[in-house]
Structure 1
Amino acid sequence: MHTTDNQIGWDEVRVSAEELASGKLKPETIKLAVQLIQVNGYVLIEEVLPRTQVDQLNRRIGDYLEGFMAKHQFSLEEGFHNGTNHIGMYLPFEKPFCDESIIAHPFVTDIVEQILGDDCLLTYFASNTSMPKGTTSQHVHADMGARFGDRCNANLPITHLVVNYPLVDVTEENGPMEVWPGGTHLHPDRYYNTKTVDKSVLAEHMLSFKALMPAGSIMIRDDRMWHRGTPNRSDQPRPNIALIYTSAPNAPQQGGIQIPQETYDGLSDKAKSLLRKEKIGFPVIEPY
């Protein structure tokens, strides 16, 4: 959400110049961010990563997207994935994507660990891109299914947090994520069973808005919050990096992120802990 210099969005935590310079959030900033996630389902911290870094990431993703499109014989004009022209693509665990400022940004870990515990893990390493000429929105959905099918009528604690880094300015025109905050993550567990409620029908009668933000921002969200991708009516891709952090008891015994041993050995202790259950000693994956 864009704001003026004198106005702060209700979904946003404003970080001071001192916090940006030190790379450390104040306790009151962390507390506010955690509470916004718990109440609204997500929080936004604007313009954290430097533009030079974001531009480098965007260029590299652009190269991969070109190869992905060619391999799958996707055409922007003909459309794909039901006209959404949306691409989800795993990222290779290599520079510039595996930079510590991405996988273990202190703003992110300070907030995430307050919710998931300081033994949480990074379990998903990918990108989501809204490509140009899309004609339809995605179905409204949550990224988490019901953990207990139709059996649980209670809201359960947060176990997964999605972190998105937009690599271009997200505007009304280039396929912003539409979100349904303030309660869709607080339903009884059975609501996340796809057969229990038709989210796309119900969502049309609920409050939503487009999550607009500058490149290099950080969005942290409960993976149960309802959302959907919208059509990109610009002439350029709208990519973001998508990570998922998981509480330790709910993480798989063996993760799927392939990390060369030399790369893992060069990480900080914090990053090593986050990735301790992934596939260490494996070659990086090909993104397409």
Structure 2
Amino acid sequence: MLAQLRFSPAVRVSGTESLQELQQPDPETVEQAFELFSTEGYLVLPEIFPPELIDKLHSSFLATYSRYCTHENHADALLVGNRRVMVTVRLEGPFNDPLIYAHPLILPILKRILGPELILSGLGAVVSLPGSADQQVHRDLSHLFGDETLDAIIPCYALNLLIPLVEVNEENGMTRLWPGSHAVFDAHYTELAQQMPFVDPPLAKGSCLLFDYRLIHLGRANRSPAPRPLLYNTYSRAWFRDPVNYTRQPPLVIPAQEKERIPAEHQRLFVTAQIV
């Protein structure tokens, strides 16, 4: 019988100031975030993005990617469930903002998890259309070596940072997570999920969710009348390349003129990007 946990690990840091005013989190906060993420496999950062930025991203996404918000079959988008598509979002316009890919309150936590040489290896959105059903239980990628002893000690090699472009709630479909499942070697996801408790964390506008690539999860059904787009950044160790989830589209695309806008200190995040 499935059991639901009542609380989710969260670290609160203020994120409503301008980028110039933001300071790095103190070392204790970074270490707390690292410990929670390492143990649970995920972390919620409440209301860290300015709501007006999220509204701007949402409007831009609907204007630019509207074709993905009406039906599910596209040659350049991966179908990741019933009425649910994964779309590559070009780093341009309002998406080319250091607050999105190198938030000063989030980047130190990412570096603590993945090491200082981490890269941004993917940028896109998962769009859950109205009437979508629950996804199947899955990991974004399984353990690397297929060896129970070895994989049990491998640290996080990649994670997703989800930035909802709308409030995420029971109606439009929260992401269900199985805490600690990233550290459990088991190829049978459904059976494992039946044995472990889950969480369905709601996300207010401006909040974000980090989770380990190996964490068992699923997107809940969208019972609202509107599409629910979740922007995602995939961060990874420099050597990692996803061999599974990009069979229809490239993981990270930047127009050449937009790459020139990226500050020099963040250019190395984009070493694997496709420049167009």
Q: Shorter chain as normaliser: what TM range?
A: 0.7 to 0.9
Question: Greater shift after overlay, 237-246 or 65-74?
Answer: 65-74
Q: Is the 8 A contact 1:121 1:251 kept in 2?
A: no
1:93 to 80, 91, 94: 91
Alpha-carbon distance, 1:200 to partner: 2.0
Distance in 2 (alpha carbons) for counterparts of 1:101 and 1:82: 27
Residue matched to 1:5: none
Distance apart, 1:18 and its partner CA:
9.7
Distance 1:207-1:19 versus aligned 2 partners, 3 A rule: farther
Note if 1:139 corresponds to 2:136.
yes
Q: 1:246 aligns with which of 213, 236, 245?
A: 236
Give how far 1:145 is off.
2.3
CA distance in 2, matches of 1:176, 1:44: 13
Larger Cα-atom Rg = 1
Note the alpha carbon deviations across 1:169-217, whole angstroms, 9 max, x for none.
1111111111101x201123xx3xxxx32x1233133211212110111
What letter matches 1:108 in structure 2? I
Q: Give the alignment's TM-score, normalised by structure 1.
A: 0.80
CA spacing shift, 1:146–1:154, aligned 2, 3 Å = closer
User: Which one of the candidate residues 79, 101, 104 is aligned to 1:103?
Assistant: 101
Secondary structure in 1 aligned to 2:38?
helix
1:32-68 deviations in Å (ceiling 9; x for gaps)? 1111110011111111111111111111222344313
TM-score, normalised via structure 2 length: 0.84
Query: What is the DSSP-based 3-state SS (H/G/I as helix, E as strand, rest coil) of the residue aligned with 1:63?
Result: helix
State the distance in 1 between where 2:141 and 2:81 align: 23
CA contact (8 A) 1:104 1:270 kept: no
Structure 2 SS opposite 1:204:
helix
> Alpha-carbon deviation of 1:159?
0.5
- Cα displacement (A) at 1:128: 1.0
Q: Does 1:261 align with 2:233?
A: no
Question: Structure 1 CA distance, aligned partners of 2:131 and 2:57?
Answer: 23
**Superposition pairs of residues 207-286 of structure 1, within 5 angstroms:** 207-251=197-241, 256-279=251-274, 282-283=275-276
Q: Structure 1: which 5+ residue stretches go unaligned?
A: 1-8, 75-80, 284-288
Which residue in 1 is equivalent to 2:12? 14
SS class of match (2:138):
coil
| 1:248–1:82 CA distance, 2 compared to 1 (3 A) | closer
Identical aligned residues as a percent: 29
Q: Confirm whether residue 185 of structure 1 aligns to residue 175 of structure 2.
A: no
What amino acid sits opposite 2:9 in the alignment?
D
Amino acid at match of 1:33: A
Query: Match of 1:107, SS?
Result: coil
- From 186, 190, 193, the equivalent of 1:200 is 190
Number of residue pairs matched?
A: 258
Distance in 2 between residues matched to 1:99 and 1:17, nearest whole Å: 15
The residue type paired with residue 66 of structure 1 is S
Q: 1:271 and 1:152 mapped to 2: Cα distance? A: 36
Does the Cα contact within 8 Å between 1:19 and 1:26 map onto a contact in 2?
Answer: no
Q: Is the Cα–Cα contact under 8 Å of residues 87 and 129 in structure 1 kept in the other structure?
A: yes
Q: SS of the residue aligned with 2:120?
A: strand
